[in-house]
Amino acid sequence: MMNTSGRTRMIAYRLLQAIPAIIGIVIVSFILTRALPGDPAAYFAGPAASSESIEQIRRTMGLDQPLPVQFLAYVKDLVTGDLGHSISTGQPVLTELGARLPASLELTGFALLFSMAVALPLGILAASRPNSWVDHLCRFVVTAGVSLPVFFTGLALVYLFYYLLGWAPSPMGRIDILYLSPPKITGFYVIDSLLAGDLETARAALAQLILPAITLGLFTLAPIARMTRAAMIQILEGEFVRTARAAGLSRRSMLYTYALRNAILPVITTLGMVFSFTLGANVLVEKVFAWPGIGSWAVEALVVSDYAAVQGFVLAMALLFVTINLVIDILYTLIDPRLGMES
Amino acid sequence: MTVPLVDIRDLSVEFNTRRGTVSAVKRVSLQIAKGETVGIVGESGSGKSVTSYALMRILDRAGRIAGGSVVFGGVDVANADKRTLSELRGREMSMIFQNPRAALNPIRRVGQQIEDVLLEHGMAKHGNARDKAIKMLAAVRIADPEKRYSAYPFELSGGMCQRIVIAIALACRPQLLIADEPTTGLDVTTQKTVMELIVELARERDMATLFITHDLGLAATWCDRILVMENGEVVEAKPTRELFAAPSHPYTRRLLQATPHRDSRVCDLLPVDDPRRAVPSTAAPGKPLLEVKAVTKRFGGASSRPAVDALSFQIGEGESLGLVGESGCGKSTTSAMIMRLLDPDSGQILFRSDDIGTVTARRFASHPARRSLQMVFQDPTDSLNPRWSARRSIADPLYRLAASSRRAAERQVNELAERVGLSNHLLERFPHQLSGGQKARVGIARAVALSPSLLILDEPTAALDVSVQAVVLNLLVSLREQLGMSYLFISHDLNVVRLVCDRVMVMRAGQIVEQGPTASLLTHPSHDYTRTLLDAIPHPPASSRQPREAAT
């Protein structure tokens, strides 16, 4: 093909561009946590500690060293995969991240799947029939989605489906206490239990997941539906769609092959932004459903100046952001042939 | 008489807008027989495109057929259901559009877009669709169709894109092709080959063609019969020869007059009693104002073909020089370098013997010569700030380059507006509230605000209707006379260049192939390329001059 090499080069270039971003993230996460108020050594020593023992702890933690030395030590640890120990739990940060990040990813992933499953068809239908009842429904859902706070929708859903109807299991974490968590392979309970062939556990994990995912999904579907509708409306008014109409193409191929494939580009961008945003910001949902996610963990760590944990959180999130952006960029080049040709 | 293929009777089309219902087409009747080529001619807003959209039933959501009947091959199109319509469209009647690149799906291979139509109408199966699409590409004379099958629209030229659109339209061998300004925006030579292709394919397949255009010359060259539309109504409908020999409606006569002929002068474009008629000056040019010496510009590496290749020419004081060439010949690059928007790779640009080529493009804005060089752009809409009133756009150079006081600028803007024929009450309007011609005037007023000595006009009338073009060209000619400006007039349209230029240069692939005084160059071109360009221009029959003169 004419521009395959152009695309490959473009993707390679994007990958290279990620490197300075990662270096920047490492530096910023280090400085940011050092700039936090509070003295971790004092916290670690406890309220009864004397100033000598605090000093002692400060030394063992390396906090008496000048910042550049601390930074080098930090980078060295990072390279070996050592993110330090959480002060409050005593666990290695990497282990905690390994346990908590999949929980958040699972929740956010399902929430996005749910919101896409609702928002994309809604947006497309609304765009193809402006001012019809679908369009009004779309507008209503979008407005409701952004204006209802997640803790409210979460509590309302729990009240309705758990307390009143009893359809949902108790909103207590990732799996009902009657079940054992599946052997860890990916960290996603639903997938792990399926891999282990344990349908019963998979069902239980999924049941736990549904309400928090819908809660979060109701919030995230608003920007996706809105963007889908706007992009589709713009494309459907375009000249090439008129050509497709004049050529007698069916409504189906006009909407999907012609309009949606062009309209999907801005939707993907929105999706990436929403994903990155909700991953770190779903603390409220995690609190309501006692979900052991990374958001609530980070907030707790922040409150007690547990900076190894905060640092690990910032680093993990930033790397995720970079990865997501990279994936979106690459998706873009795959969908839009025009992109490989610049440069 | 046999039943016509298309039978439109008393068609009315209305649009729902924010300001209420607007009637775009009023009681239009039109019959097209099998194999016949019918033209609809009119200016923007005449309803010519809307009529054809109604025939295809592809009107916007806001538009609807408000009255009359539309029958195609015995089928009542106006009341047909969706299934009947999708069987008609693309298979029985097809349409090609202006701006072919935008008319194609930008992210789908062109071959697949042809396949889509073939598959939709059951003219191919998945097994042979590719072969049929490639055959179709060959039928529209695309070189190397196998390879072009997998090209995307952005990889093809405008002319090629139009061939693809034609291939899509004709893939299922329709009985009627509607061509809506299919060559507007294409070069004259491309226009000619595309038109020849359409006509040839139509003849081959005994296909009727409805040809919609604003260009009387084009319609005269290719149509059997012509309908002239104005404000949604058909004002005249006659066989082509008769229409040009004896135009009966005043609007037709006005349109004919405004269309540049081989032998018309710029003042001939307007009625004799029009005060805006301008007489071209015959004064000899003064000493050189601008000298371009061996200027070269490349956009790729050192081995790439230069966009402008060792170009040299000069413009005298008060002279009007035409620069003619097809898209990609380097004319816009040349003007951008003279305006110092681009830096040349080598060569000199002397303005009043001062080398402005050495001033970097970035710093030229504050150079003293900047106010003597002004430009009028091709697209009157896009070259105005949409959030500025006409007054502010015209006043902008006064504030920026002349540091005028508020009151002085105000007065000057009023004078300028009067000079370019812009009524005072229009000055407070924003671009979207102005017509194309009014916007063009704002652009011209802005450019002449500082009384520049050189005005670069980059296709200033290309986006305008002929009647507006006639007024603007006359305005430009008289302004040059009044303000003693020199013009560098860039155009692909030799007919227009001839009306306003003393001397013409023909440019191709970054070089000048021929130059000389306008009259002799255009009547006795020495270079083959100039001859090709001249031959490609469609002209309305010259016989139209006599009745026009008689009528006015």
B501 CB contacts (<8 Å, ≥6 apart)?
Answer: B320, B321, B322, B487, B489, B518
Task: Give the pLDDT confidence of B208-248 residue by residue, as tens digits.
Answer: 999 999 888 899 999 999 999 999 999 999 999 999 999 99
B486 CB contacts (<8 Å, ≥6 apart)?
Answer: B285, B289, B290, B315, B316, B317, B318, B319, B320, B321, B453, B454, B455, B480
Instruction: Tell me the chain A residues in contact with residue B103 when contact means C-beta distances shorter than 8 Å.
Output: 239-240, 242-243
| Angstrom distance (rounded) from CA B94 to CA A121 | 31
pLDDT at residue B94 in the model = 94
Taking CB atoms and an 8 Å limit, are A338 and B150 in contact across chains?
no
Taking CB atoms and an 8 Å limit, are B165 and A243 in contact across chains?
yes
Mean of the per-residue pLDDT values for chain B? 89
DSSP string of A235-292, one letter each residue = HHTSHHHHHHHHTT--HHHIIIIIIIHHHHHHHHHHHHHHHHHHHHH-HHHHHHTT--
Instruction: Tell me the chain A residues in contact with residue B97 when contact means C-beta distances shorter than 8 Å.
Output: 239, 242-243, 246
Task: Give the pLDDT confidence of B477-534 residue by residue, as tens digits.
Answer: 999 988 889 999 998 888 888 889 999 999 998 999 999 999 899 889 999 999 999 8
Task: Give the pLDDT confidence of A201-229 residue by residue, as tens digits.
Answer: 888 888 888 889 999 998 899 999 999 99
Q: What angle do CA B479, B485, B487 make, to 5 degrees?
A: 95
How many CB pairs below 8 A link A and B?
Answer: 87
pLDDT at residue B233 in the model = 93
| Domain boundaries defined on chain A | 1-88+304-343, 100-292
> A283 to chain B, minimum CA–CA distance in Å?
40
pLDDT at residue B542 in the model = 61
Is the CATH number of domain B288-551 3.40.50.300? Answer: yes
Strand pairing report for B486-491 and B225-230: unpaired
What is the dihedral sign for C-alpha B419, B421, B422, B424?
positive
Task: Give the pLDDT confidence of A105-141 residue by residue, as tens digits.
Answer: 889 999 999 999 999 999 999 998 888 899 999 999 8
> A335 to chain B, minimum CA–CA distance in Å?
7
| Angstrom distance (rounded) from CA A223 to CA B123 | 42
Taking CB atoms and an 8 Å limit, are A258 and B120 in contact across chains?
no
The percent of residues in chain A predicted with pLDDT above 70, rounded, is 96
Instruction: Tell me the chain B residues in contact with residue A3 when contact means C-beta distances shorter than 8 Å.
Output: 155
Taking CB atoms and an 8 Å limit, are B103 and A337 in contact across chains?
no
State both tokens at B543.
Answer: 């016989």
Q: Which residue from A2, A245, A257 is facing B89, i.e. has the nearest CB?
A: A245
| Domain boundaries defined on chain B | 102-173, 288-551
Chain A contact present for B116, CB below 8 A: yes
Q: What is the mean pLDDT of the segment spanning B371-380?
A: 89
* ipTM computed for the complex: 0.81
pLDDT confidence tier of residue B1, bands split at 50, 70 and 90: low
**Tokens 């509708």 label which residue?**
A229
Beta bridge partners, B209, equal B37, B177
* C-alpha dihedral, B351 to B355 to B360 to B363, nearest 10°: -60
pLDDT at residue B131 in the model = 94
Instruction: Tell me the chain B residues in contact with residue A263 when contact means C-beta distances shorter than 8 Å.
Output: none
Fold of A100-292: MetI-like fold (1.10.3720)
Taking CB atoms and an 8 Å limit, are A335 and B104 in contact across chains?
no
Q: Using the predicted structure, report yes or no on whether residue B548 has a pLDDT greater than 60.
A: no
At residue A336, φ and ψ (nearest 5 deg) are -105, 105
